Amino acid sequence: MQKVNVAIIGSGNIGTDLMIKILRLSESLAMSVLVGIDPDSDGLARAKRMGVATCHTGIDGLIQMPEWSSIKIIFDATSAKAHLYNWDKVKAFPDKKMIDLTPAAVGPYLVPPVNFKDNLDVSNVNMVTCGGQATIPMVAAVNRVAKVHYGEIVASIASKSAGPGTRANIDEFTETTAEAIEKVGGADRGKAIIVLNPAEPPLVMRDTVFTLSEQADREEIRKSIHTMVEEVQKYVPGYQLHQEVQFDDIPASEPVFIEGLGLRHGLKTTILLKVVGAGHYLPEYAGNLDIMTSAARATAERIVTGMTT
């Protein structure tokens, strides 16, 4: 298979990790250009050492480079605000697709094992957030067995793994993830919380997923969750259940109040996850970095498969 040329906009933690993954692991993607706005960034320096072309004048500079004509996929690892500008430039080129790793959510949300096939022909797809990529598959796994009324996720990541872009987009993180819990995960109502854990030594990413659904066979829900974990592990090997799935009854006589839905009862499912990073750029504690970049790489590779079949 001839590799497809790609570019990454954003030379911070996410963009640099994604670049390394493509160079080391991808059989269908060719790393063409890493783009930043700081000529002295570590990401651009690393790209040069690894033989990758660089640009420090953003999307405008990339479009002027000779490599631009052959690039088919552009990853955006900047910020929600910057993505709006970048997409306004890229959308003028219909032969190119954009994979958005910011919470801008211009295009539809995409979580590879859940709804990739629904977005085959879309020019701009959004990878939600690191917390969304880790937890939405679990909400969807419950929802395909029992209708989920409410899904709540708590993503705890090491403070050291959160770069300036992540910190600047906390509000967008919670809003985007909550909406994607509904639109992709299938919940009637979603809520997302992120915790930047300052512990030393840094702890690996931990995610807690709560769902309130209709009553259903608990063993079927458990099997669905384990099957989904295996699907995610195909592109994020460090993704795993931290404990076995837990169930609790919420009886009709003691319903809980959910904002926007009112009183609800049913089956509460608790799923505890941890994500150990591959250590390609930041250490293994940065599972949040790993799941986001791995999901983006998996999406691009599936797009390429569609291009060549």
pLDDT in tens, 156-177: 999 999 888 788 888 889 999 9
**Cα(154)–Cα(194) distance, rounded to whole angstroms?**
6
Give the residue from 112, 137, 113, 139 showing the smallest Cα distance to 126: 112
Q: Which residues of the chain have pLDDT under 50?
A: none
Helix %, strand %, coil % of the chain (to 5) = 40, 25, 35
SS3 for 58? helix
DSSP summary character for residue 80: H
**Which tens digit of pLDDT belongs to each residue from 81-118?**
999 999 999 999 999 999 999 989 999 999 999 999 99
Tell me the one-letter amino acid at 126: N
Contact 26, 297 (CB under 8 A): yes
Tell me the one-letter amino acid at 219: E
Say what the pTM is. 0.95
Task: Check if 55 is active-site.
Answer: no
The token duo for 111 is 């979580």
* Domains, the chain: 4-127+290-307 (3.40.50.720), 130-283 (3.30.360.10)
Catalytic member of 130, 148, 278, 286: 130
